[in-house]
């Protein structure tokens, strides 16, 4: 070994792993100007296969960063699920059709797009908004925490040794084979049936020279996959178990007379197992097939990988689809995996090191959840990290300490869901109504209906905490009765069961706020509420949504004016750094107004106090802060007040976190109540730094 001087540097945040969870975390860092490094041991990003399901909430999150349109344009949209079941003659036939995404729950529907493209959108986004770049072929060799320093806001208590690999070392075996002309050489190289090579790489690298550096970080985020090296450094053991079920996955351009090949299908054959069809972009179709003949070894619990080939997977699919014909000339990717459901006991250590994505939860991929839940981890964590590094949080841990409980609860729900879903898939179909062991179509359909909200990612509900405030008079957390369907607008949106304020009876607290189109007071532009809540820097803002009610009524107008006076002298002043102008896009606390008076009956400058549309000497008034729940000329009327259950006369105040999650609901008087113990002041005091 040669001894060379090891360079040493610092960063605020080190992200280990540049998959979806790591890139999502990095997206917040990029928007917030946080000094960030993101490393990945692989020398290249992935180009085919891997995860592909994009759920509604993920698309909404992409939209908050400004690139949902790219995904939406390239993805294959899945509209319908077709259920196929054996008839009395044992032959499969279509038994049901259901919408893949329930109508009206989101602006988006479920769609599928190859993981590599999604990573590309994140990389482009980082490039547009920051100088953060993924450093590929960089392997973490050791991680040490100086526990004496973890409570010191200014310290860099984590030391990570990084090794820069050679191209040869960093190239995944499959990519190497592909570059040598071997197509789909080993579809299992990233499967959970294959051993991880990280330790091997580290061991090999210890024994020889190479470029190494020492990095001191304030925070580390481990997004390094199911075999997470970071998690293992923290000593967290995944909890849960593997099953005996082995599934194969094949991405092909099918040539077939099966009529529903461009639909998402669940095909239960009489005795050949179950097949799931996922139509994809560019004419591709993904097939998920249970491999009944591959049985894990009793001793090791692992299947013999050498027996699994694309041909075995394909032949199993052909049998299930019979009498329909299936063949292909092009295979894009294949793999196989053993279903297992596991969760890490904690997602963080000292509120300094965090774990996200597959590093802390693994499950079966068939419901298209993996990439989405992983990204949602990063989305939950990123803004909390950014505000903390910027010293805009109430204390160093007031935001960060909510990450592990919030996301671990979701991971546990995911596992419970996956248990149920996998059983329905893996079980044989019921022969008749008396066949209690088989899975009935009715059970399957009910599971789809009940789980549609869950799989969409829209029912995620965070429990009460410093970040989620439940009013004392909250309505109970049962599903809200749908309001009467209205002839002129879409059916009421499904809402998850969660506590609600009597002031917003259809707005679950702790969930993301649903989006409705509102109309700009100054320009008549209709825009989705979500478009007004971007995941933007320089500091991820908490937003006070002032549902101002009917501003034409003198009494209501006076209530709102009183609120605005208190807002200007109190709340905004308290939570905005002295060098930042109140209620501008640079402030960590911002106000957005949505009123319910007829748009033509009010004037922006006359009816709305200046603080609601702040003035700037270079730009004039801010015309994009006051909106109206009113009919638009070309895009109908979404009736936001009705949808949220807010009174059109008196309105309400809703506070959403930077991740669009509803955190506080009250009326204008409560919002500016001066007592320390109550109101919005008390809530924000537990969240944001007081200036």
The residues binding a second copy (CB under 8 A) are: 69, 73, 77, 79-80, 97, 99-101, 103-104, 109, 253-257, 259-263, 279, 283, 329-330, 487, 520, 522-526, 600, 603-606, 617-620, 623, 632-634
Of 395 and 585, the one with the shorter C-beta distance to a second copy is: 585
Exposed / middle / buried, residue 561 (Cβ in 10 Å: 0-12, 13-18, 19+) = middle
Q: Which of 280, 286, 352, 506 is catalytic?
A: 280
Return the bridge partners of 222, or none: 16, 355
**Which are the contacts of 487, defined by CB distance < 8 A and separation ≥ 6?**
none
- The DSSP symbol for 191 reads S
Of 396 and 599, the one with the shorter C-beta distance to a second copy is: 599
Return the bridge partners of 15, or none: 38, 221
415 token code pair: 């596992």
**Cβ contact 410:447 at 8 Å:** no
How far is 494 from 481, CA to CA, in rounded Å?
9
Minimum Å distance from CB 543 to a second copy? 21
Of 531 and 682, the one with the shorter C-beta distance to a second copy is: 531
* Consecutive H or E run containing 574: helix 572-575
* SS3 state of residue 91: coil
Minimum Å distance from CB 318 to a second copy? 15
Minimum Å distance from CB 250 to a second copy? 15
Minimum Å distance from CB 553 to a second copy? 21
Residue 365: active-site member = yes
* Backbone Cα Rg of the chain: 26
How far is 10 from 156, CA to CA, in rounded Å?
8
Residue 280: active-site member = yes
Of 255 and 555, the one with the shorter C-beta distance to a second copy is: 255
**Cβ contact 151:53 at 8 Å:** no
Return the bridge partners of 264, or none: 81
**Which are the contacts of 71, defined by CB distance < 8 A and separation ≥ 6?**
54, 59, 62, 111, 113, 117, 118, 121
Q: Which of 20, 102, 365, 526 is catalytic?
A: 365
Of 107 and 227, the one with the shorter C-beta distance to a second copy is: 107
Of 121 and 542, the one with the shorter C-beta distance to a second copy is: 121
Residue 52: active-site member = yes
Minimum Å distance from CB 161 to a second copy? 44
C-alpha 571: how far from chain center: 31
Of 409 and 525, the one with the shorter C-beta distance to a second copy is: 525
How far is 283 from 112, CA to CA, in rounded Å?
12
Return the bridge partners of 391, or none: none
**Cβ contact 136:44 at 8 Å:** yes
* SS3 state of residue 399: coil
Of 69 and 153, the one with the shorter C-beta distance to a second copy is: 69
Exposed / middle / buried, residue 427 (Cβ in 10 Å: 0-12, 13-18, 19+) = middle
Q: Which of 37, 40, 42, 52 is catalytic?
A: 52
| Cα dihedral 221, 224, 227, 229 sign | negative
Q: Which residues are catalytic?
A: 52, 280, 288, 365
């Amino acid at each position: 070994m040669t001894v060379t001087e090891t360079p040493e540097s610092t960063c605020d945040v080190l992200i280990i792993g540049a998959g979806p969870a790591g890139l999502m975390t990095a997206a917040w860092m990029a928007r917030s100007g946080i000094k960030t490094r993101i490393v990945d041991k692989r020398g290249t990003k992935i180009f085919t296969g891997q995860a592909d399901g994009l759920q509604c909430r993920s698309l909404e999150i992409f939209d908050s960063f400004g690139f949902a349109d790219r995904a939406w344009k390239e993805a294959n949209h899945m509209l319908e699920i077709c259920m196929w079941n054996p008839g009395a003659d044992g032959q499969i036939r279509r038994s049901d059709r259901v919408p893949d995404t329930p109508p009206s729950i989101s602006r988006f529907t479920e769609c599928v797009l190859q993981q590599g493209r999604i990573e590309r959108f994140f990389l482009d986004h980082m490039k547009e908004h920051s100088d953060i770049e993924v450093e590929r072929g960089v392997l973490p060799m050791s991680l040490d925490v100086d526990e004496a320093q973890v409570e010191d806001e200014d310290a860099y208590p984590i030391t990570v040794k990084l090794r820069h690999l050679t191209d040869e070392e960093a190239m995944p075996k499959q990519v190497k084979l592909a570059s040598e002309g071997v197509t789909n050489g080993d579809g299992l190289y990233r499967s959970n049936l294959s051993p991880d090579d990280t330790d091997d790489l580290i061991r090999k690298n210890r024994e020889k020279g190479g470029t190494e550096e020492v990095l001191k970080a304030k925070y580390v985020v481990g997004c390094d996959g199911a075999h997470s090296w970071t998690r293992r450094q923290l000593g967290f053991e995944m909890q849960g178990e593997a099953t005996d079920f082995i599934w194969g996955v094949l991405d092909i351009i099918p040539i077939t007379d099966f009529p529903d090949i461009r639909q998402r299908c669940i095909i239960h054959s009489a005795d050949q197992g179950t097949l799931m069809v996922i139509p994809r972009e560019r004419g591709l179709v993904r097939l998920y097939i249970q491999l009944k003949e591959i049985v894990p070894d009793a001793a090791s619990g692992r299947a013999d990988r050498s027996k699994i080939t694309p041909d075995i997977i394909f032949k199993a699919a052909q049998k299930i689809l019979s009498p329909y014909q299936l063949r292909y000339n092009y295979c894009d990717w294949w793999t196989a995996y053993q279903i297992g459901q596991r969760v890490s006991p904690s997602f963080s250590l000292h509120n300094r090191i965090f774990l996200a994505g597959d590093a802390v939860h693994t499950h079966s991929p068939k419901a298209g959840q993996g990439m989405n839940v992983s990204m949602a981890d990063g989305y939950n964590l990123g803004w909390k990290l950014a505000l903390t590094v910027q010293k805009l949080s109430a204390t160093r841990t007031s935001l960060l300490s909510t990450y592990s409980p919030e996301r671990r609860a979701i991971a546990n729900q995911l596992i419970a869901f996956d248990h149920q879903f996998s059983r329905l898939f893996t079980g044989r179909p019921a022969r008749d109504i008396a066949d209690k062991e088989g899975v009935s179509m009715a059970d399957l359909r009910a599971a789809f209906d009940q789980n549609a909200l869950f799989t969409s990612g829209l029912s995620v509900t965070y429990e009460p905490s410093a970040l989620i405030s439940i009013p004392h008079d909250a309505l109970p957390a049962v599903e809200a009765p749908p309001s009467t369907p209205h002839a002129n607008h879409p059916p009421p949106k499904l809402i998850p069961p969660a506590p609600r304020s009597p002031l917003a009876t259809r707005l679950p607290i702790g969930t993301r706020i649903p989006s409705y189109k509102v109309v700009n007071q100054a320009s008549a532009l209709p825009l989705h509420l979500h478009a007004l809540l971007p995941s933007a820097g320089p500091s991820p803002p908490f937003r006070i949504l002032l549902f101002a009610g009917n501003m034409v009524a003198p009494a209501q107008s006076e209530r709102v004016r009183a609120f605005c006076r208190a807002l200007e002298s109190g709340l905004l002043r308290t939570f905005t750094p002295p060098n930042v102008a109140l209620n501008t896009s640079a402030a960590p606390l911002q106000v957005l107004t949505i009123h319910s008076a007829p748009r033509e009956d009010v004037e922006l400058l006359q009816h709305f106090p200046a603080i609601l549309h702040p003035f700037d000497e270079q730009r004039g008034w801010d015309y994009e802060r006051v909106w109206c729940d009113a009919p638009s000329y070309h895009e109908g009327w979404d009736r936001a007040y009705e949808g949220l259950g807010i009174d059109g006369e008196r309105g309400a105040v809703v506070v959403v976190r930077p991740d669009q999650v509803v955190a506080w609901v009250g009326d204008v008087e409560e919002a500016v109540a001066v007592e320390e113990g109550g109101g919005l002041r008390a809530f924000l005091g537990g969240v944001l730094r007081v200036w």
